[in-house]
Amino acid sequence: MSDSKDKLHAVPPPATEAIKISKPKNYAAGLPAISAVAVQLKGEMTAKKCGTTLFAVNQMEGYDCPGCAWPDPDDHRSPLGEYCENGVKAIVEEATEKRVTPDFFKKYAIQEMTTWTDYKIGKSGRITEPMIRRSGSNYYEPITWDDAYQLIADHLHGLDHPDQAVFYTSGKASNEAAFLYQLFVRQYGTNNLPDCSNMCHESTGVALSETIGIGKGSVKLEDFYVADLVMVIGQNPGTNHPRMLSALEITKKRGGKIIGVNPLKEAGLQRFKNPQKLKGFLRGTSLMDLHLPVAINGDLALIKAIMFLLLQAEDKAPGTIFDQEFIKNNTSYYEAFINDLRASDFDFLVKSSGVSEEKIKAATQMIRDNKKIIICWAMGVTQHENSVNTIREIVNLLLLKGSIGKPGAGACPVRGHSNVQGDRTVGVWEKLKPALREALQKNFDFDPPEKNGFHVVDAIRAMAEGKVKFYLGLGGNLLSAGPDTEFTAAAFQKCELTVQISTKLNRNHLIAGATSIILPCIGRTEIIPTSAGDQIISCENSTGVVQASRGKVDPISEHLRAEPTIIAELAKKVVGDKYAKPNWDAVAKDYDLIRDLIEATIPGFDNYNERVRNHGGFYLPNGAREGNFKTETGKALFSINPVENITIKEDEFIMMTIRSHDQFNTTIYGNDDRYRGIENGRRVVFMNASDIKKVGLTAGDKVDLFSYFENKERVARDFQVVQYDIPVNTVATYFPEANVLVPINSFAKRSYTPAYKSVIIKIARTQA
Ligand SMILES: Nc1nc2c(c(=O)[nH]1)N[C@H]1C(S)=C(S)[C@@H](COP(=O)(O)OP(=O)(O)OC[C@H]3O[C@@H](n4cnc5c(=O)[nH]c(N)nc54)[C@H](O)[C@@H]3O)O[C@H]1N2
Ligand SMILES: Nc1nc2c(c(=O)[nH]1)N[C@H]1C(S)=C(S)[C@@H](COP(=O)(O)OP(=O)(O)OC[C@H]3O[C@@H](n4cnc5c(=O)[nH]c(N)nc54)[C@H](O)[C@@H]3O)O[C@H]1N2
Ligand SMILES: [Mo]
């Protein structure tokens, strides 16, 4: 890394502090979770603000937690606050009283800020006023809202074609903001609506849409209470969906079993000490009955091996293992699927899975004896080249067991951002389905573009090629969340104008287009005052429940505006009165009017304004949940999915990039990963003892990581080797430090999700 004074650092800088390593934990939450909360609160908020914010989270009259998308109980909500340690971190991160003011921007040059860690950048505080960095300048300066809108509108009007602009969405945007956004973008003339889903559950969307007719999961929270068996595949709920542990605790207490499929034996799946119950708090509940330490991307082979054994048992006693009645009435292509399965080479499947035959047999035994099975999955499944096929294989298993469309069973892709599912429901997608296109055409009196827009990977490539000149981000940090950080940085820097609607400062504000604008917005915890009174917004959680969210504290600056208002005001300048509808002035003030428009356009939102105000909100329709599959045959589809192993050379490893316990995506809450025994640093590479030895290293050594995809060398420097219980040939690093190694052209087939969890790398000792 050249350290010239002018270099803008797109990649987080090397660590200077000494990293402390201790034994990984074998339980989640408990007392350390309470003290971690106290640490987070220190210096960020007054006691009064803490009380107002923390006790309103996920309450019936409160706001939706800005953390993950895990559902809330429909009826009873814990009086202690329906929040978890990591929910508190998310709230404190947003509700902090630290401010990034025009004075702050005067004091620190952009170049200097790029030398800071992501932790330090984020901890600077909330942005208080619209800011602009003019072309050639090293500083941001204030700009008025009107001038900012005008500049953006002039730029958009000056492009040769609307497809030269991209409009990104991160999954925190409310239904109201997201609906207006896609309407504005399509009236402007493009479907270039990449979103964080492209990097997240897109593989799920593709696989589920074609096999069960809906791109969402089919289970409700209550299904966990009556399930016989829950499989948790490629997901770390103890860190990323902590409230899910309360649901799993109930599964266990009612006699259900849990299988974890993960290269790592994550603490949260081992034992849960419920911080809200004294008894559970002390002893805890053991969660996982069986851990399958799968090889990276060995999941498809593993599920196939299990189904192969199930088929043998079914052949011996037909009708006792598979749900033949369900299969006959509700599915298509069973025979072709079974013929293919029967022809599988079991030994090859076992070997490809990385799991021992003994453990596969134990898992098969648990599955064959149970009728109500839930399968959960997250990024460990979706971020590989053949992820779509792996998820289709998960569906095959559920179909064989008739475990979909009945209580206690089903598909449960666990979503990430708090409203990522809702954003898609209301139309944020680079593809425009004919039904939505017609509805938009009819309700808003314009001709929406038909051509698919850019997803994230295409958007970055188009920016790099100079085909896209304008970027607008509704939240998020695409620079650091996207793959191939240096490539993505160059792509951003090629844009003429980049605009980001944001709450907090992040690296993407520093590595941006020639001209860069920040529009600061009101966050989830804050009241939204407009001239029509205080407004509410709404979100959809991972199980398809739409609920109101009402912020509780005053916005941290009088200059902030809420996302729907910003979008409406900008749309008014860009699209103007070209079309009779919507009335941008009216929707900017009164969000009930936006909900009326959603109700008229998107199925399932009848009486939206009334029902969203009901306690607990309402469920959106979900065909698969009712056993009604909207596929090409009208039934759920079995599919054939070949095993494709990742091959590596002798000196190569397969790297997964994962989240620590102290981060929310690119937002770094702290430098520890308590459950994995890491303190005071993030640049670590987890390795198996025999692999460490094989490459001639010792635990604690400083190493550099290299990837050579398509003959291009990518380097991530200055990582510390941590010996860990992880399968051979497999290593793990944290996102976003290792994103620089993820090649832009390595992504899941058909979903284009970057292969963040299967990056082929080499490791070498850092040269002094
Ligand atoms: N506190 C907190 N909460 C969050 C987030 C956060 O960053 N912090 N992020 C939110 C978002 S946007 C999302 S999408 C979710 C992410 O939630 P997760 O998907 O739980 O997040 P990751 O850390 O990416 O963890 C993936 C898990 O998959 C495992 N894994 C990796 N490769 C494989 C594989 O090939 N097979 C299998 N079976 N397992 C594998 C890893 O060991 C790890 O346990 O969490 C959401 N919630
Ligand atoms: N290597 C690797 N890369 C990954 C992943 C991985 O597992 N490994 N996971 C991928 C996944 S699953 C996802 S979802 C993406 C996440 O990608 P993004 O959603 O783009 O990233 P975030 O880090 O969640 O965005 C954080 C920023 O959002 C802004 N923000 C926060 N709250 C609000 C708000 O209420 N309104 C607005 N307007 N802005 C707000 C703040 O400025 C903050 O800095 O990353 C992906 N990247
Ligand atoms: Mo995500």
Q: In CATH, what number is assigned to the domain containing residue 726?
A: 2.40.40.20
Give the pLDDT band (50/70/90) at residue 113.
Answer: very high
- Identity of the amino acid at 625: R
Q: Where are the beta strands (DSSP E) in 418-576?
A: 470-474, 497-502, 515-520, 528-530, 533-535, 537-540, 545-549
Residue 506 resides in a domain: yes
Q: Domain boundary at 413, 447, 476, which?
A: 413
Q: Give the domain extent around 528.
A: 64-72+97-196+420-617
Buried b (16+ CB within 10 A) or exposed e, 466-491: ebbbbbbbbbbbbbbbbbbbebbbeb
Q: How far does residue 754's CA lie from ligand 2's centre (Å)?
A: 15
Residue 277 resides in a domain: yes
Q: How far does residue 756's CA lie from ligand 2's centre (Å)?
A: 14
Q: How far does residue 241's CA lie from ligand 1's centre (Å)?
A: 9
Q: Looking at residue 738, what is its pLDDT? A: 98
For the Cβ of 353 lying below 6 angstroms from any atom of ligand 1, the answer is no
pLDDT in tens, 422-444: 999 999 999 999 999 999 999 99
Mutate to test the pocket of ligand 1, among 37, 64, 68 (most ligand atoms within 8 A of CB): 68
CA atoms within 13 A on the CB side of 476: 29
Helix axis angle, 434-444 to 591-601, nearest 10°: 130
For the Cβ of 716 lying below 6 angstroms from any atom of ligand 1, the answer is no
Rounded to whole angstroms, the Cα distance separating 534 from 552 reads 11
| Phi, psi torsion values for 354, nearest 5 degrees | 85, -5
591 and 674, same domain (yes or no): no
Q: Which ligand lies nearest the alpha carbon of 236?
A: 1
Give the pLDDT band (50/70/90) at residue 77.
Answer: low
Residue 59 resides in a domain: no
Q: CB 305: neighbour CB atoms within 10 A?
A: 27
Q: Looking at residue 675, what is its pLDDT? A: 94
Structure tokens at 44: 């960020």
Asked whether the beta carbons of 173 and 600 are under 8 A apart, the reply is no
Q: Looking at residue 88, what is its pLDDT? A: 84
Asked whether the beta carbons of 388 and 206 are under 8 A apart, the reply is yes
Give the 3-state secondary structure percentages of the chain, helix then strand then coil, rounded to 5: 40, 20, 45
Rounded to whole angstroms, the Cα distance separating 107 from 138 reads 11
Q: Where are the beta strands (DSSP E) in 247-328?
A: 257-261, 271-273, 285-286, 290-292
Asked whether the beta carbons of 747 and 385 are under 8 A apart, the reply is yes
Q: Looking at residue 4, what is its pLDDT? A: 63
Residue 303 resides in a domain: yes
Q: Looking at residue 575, what is its pLDDT? A: 97
For the Cβ of 234 lying below 6 angstroms from any atom of ligand 1, the answer is yes
Rounded to whole angstroms, the Cα distance separating 8 from 462 reads 22
- Identity of the amino acid at 612: V
545 and 585, same domain (yes or no): yes
Asked whether the beta carbons of 766 and 702 are under 8 A apart, the reply is yes
136 and 151, same domain (yes or no): yes
Mutate to test the pocket of ligand 1, among 85, 172, 236 (most ligand atoms within 8 A of CB): 236
405 and 440, same domain (yes or no): no
Helical H segments across 575-637, by residue range? 584-589, 591-601, 608-611
Residue 300 resides in a domain: yes
**Ligand 2 environment, Cβ below 6 A:** 170-172, 196, 199-200, 379, 383, 416-417, 474-478, 481, 501-504, 506, 521, 523-524, 563, 657, 665-667, 735, 739, 742, 756
Q: Whose CA is nearest to atom 8 of ligand 1?
A: 664
463 and 577, same domain (yes or no): yes
For the Cβ of 233 lying below 6 angstroms from any atom of ligand 1, the answer is yes
Asked whether the beta carbons of 596 and 608 are under 8 A apart, the reply is yes
Q: Domain boundary at 353, 386, 413, which?
A: 413
Residue 696 resides in a domain: yes
For the Cβ of 520 lying below 6 angstroms from any atom of ligand 1, the answer is no
Structure tokens at 351: 């070997």
pLDDT in tens, 204-223: 999 999 999 999 999 999 99
Give the pLDDT band (50/70/90) at residue 178.
Answer: very high
Structure tokens at 753: 């999700």
All residues at 6 or more sequence positions from 474 whose CB lies less than 8 Å from its CB, including other chains: 167, 168, 169, 170, 173, 177, 178, 181, 501, 563, 567
226 and 308, same domain (yes or no): yes
Rounded to whole angstroms, the Cα distance separating 392 from 413 reads 12
Mean pLDDT confidence for 558-564 = 98
Mean pLDDT confidence for 280-286 = 73
Residue 208 resides in a domain: yes
Q: CB 343: neighbour CB atoms within 10 A?
A: 8
Overall domain count for the chain: 3
Q: Whose CA is nearest to atom 32 of ligand 2?
A: 503
Q: Domain boundary at 377, 398, 413, which?
A: 413
pLDDT of 302 strictly over 80 = yes
Determine which of 83-87, 357-361, 414-418, 453-457 has the lowest per-residue pLDDT on average: 83-87
431 and 551, same domain (yes or no): yes
Give the pLDDT band (50/70/90) at residue 280.
Answer: low
Give the pLDDT band (50/70/90) at residue 278.
Answer: low
All residues at 6 or more sequence positions from 101 whose CB lies less than 8 Å from its CB, including other chains: 128, 129
Q: How far does residue 578's CA lie from ligand 1's centre (Å)?
A: 44
752 and 679, same domain (yes or no): yes
Residue pointed to by tokens 């494709």: 644
142 and 181, same domain (yes or no): yes
All residues at 6 or more sequence positions from 365 whose CB lies less than 8 Å from its CB, including other chains: none
Rounded to whole angstroms, the Cα distance separating 602 from 551 reads 25
Q: How far does residue 757's CA lie from ligand 1's centre (Å)?
A: 10
Asked whether the beta carbons of 222 and 74 are under 8 A apart, the reply is yes
Q: CB 658: neighbour CB atoms within 10 A?
A: 24
Mean pLDDT confidence for 262-288 = 82
pLDDT of 83 strictly over 70 = no
pLDDT in tens, 670-727: 999 999 999 999 999 999 999 999 999 999 999 999 999 999 999 999 999 999 999 9
Rounded to whole angstroms, the Cα distance separating 8 from 508 reads 11
Q: How far does residue 64's CA lie from ligand 1's centre (Å)?
A: 21
Rounded to whole angstroms, the Cα distance separating 76 from 479 reads 40
- Identity of the amino acid at 513: G
- Identity of the amino acid at 133: R
Cα Rg of the chain (Å, integer): 25
Q: Whose CA is nearest to atom 4 of ligand 2?
A: 481
CATH number, position 258: 3.40.228.10
Rounded to whole angstroms, the Cα distance separating 278 from 201 reads 36
Rounded to whole angstroms, the Cα distance separating 572 from 575 reads 6
Average pLDDT, the chain: 94
What letter does residue 27 receive in the DSSP assignment? S
Rounded to whole angstroms, the Cα distance separating 173 from 537 reads 10
451 and 540, same domain (yes or no): yes
Q: CB 271: neighbour CB atoms within 10 A?
A: 20
The helix (H) or strand (E) run that includes residue 343 is none
pLDDT of 80 strictly over 60 = no
Give the pLDDT band (50/70/90) at residue 27.
Answer: confident
pLDDT in tens, 598-656: 999 999 999 999 999 998 899 999 999 999 999 999 999 999 999 999 999 999 999 99
Q: How far does residue 234's CA lie from ligand 1's centre (Å)?
A: 7
Residue 55 resides in a domain: no
Asked whether the beta carbons of 753 and 199 are under 8 A apart, the reply is yes
Q: Looking at residue 1, what is its pLDDT? A: 39
Ligand 3 ion: nearby residues, β-carbon < 5 Å: 200, 416
Determine which of 70-79, 122-131, 694-703 has the lowest per-residue pLDDT on average: 70-79
CATH number, position 589: 3.40.50.740
315 and 376, same domain (yes or no): yes
Rounded to whole angstroms, the Cα distance separating 258 from 235 reads 13
- Closest C-alpha among 441, 423, 437 to residue 191: 437
For the Cβ of 757 lying below 6 angstroms from any atom of ligand 1, the answer is yes
Q: How far does residue 739's CA lie from ligand 3's centre (Å)?
A: 15
231 and 110, same domain (yes or no): no
Q: How far does residue 240's CA lie from ligand 1's centre (Å)?
A: 7
Determine which of 40-44, 103-107, 443-447, 686-690 has the lowest per-residue pLDDT on average: 40-44
Q: How far does residue 257's CA lie from ligand 1's centre (Å)?
A: 22
Q: Looking at residue 751, what is its pLDDT? A: 98
pLDDT of 137 strictly over 60 = yes
% of the chain with per-residue pLDDT over 70: 97
- Identity of the amino acid at 706: F
Residue pointed to by tokens 């520093």: 510
Q: Looking at residue 92, what is its pLDDT? A: 86
pLDDT of 2 strictly over 50 = no
Q: Whose CA is nearest to atom 7 of ligand 1?
A: 664
Q: How far does residue 379's CA lie from ligand 1's centre (Å)?
A: 5
Rounded to whole angstroms, the Cα distance separating 285 from 265 reads 16
Q: Which atom of ligand 2 is found nearest the CA of 665?
A: 23
What length is written for the chain?
768
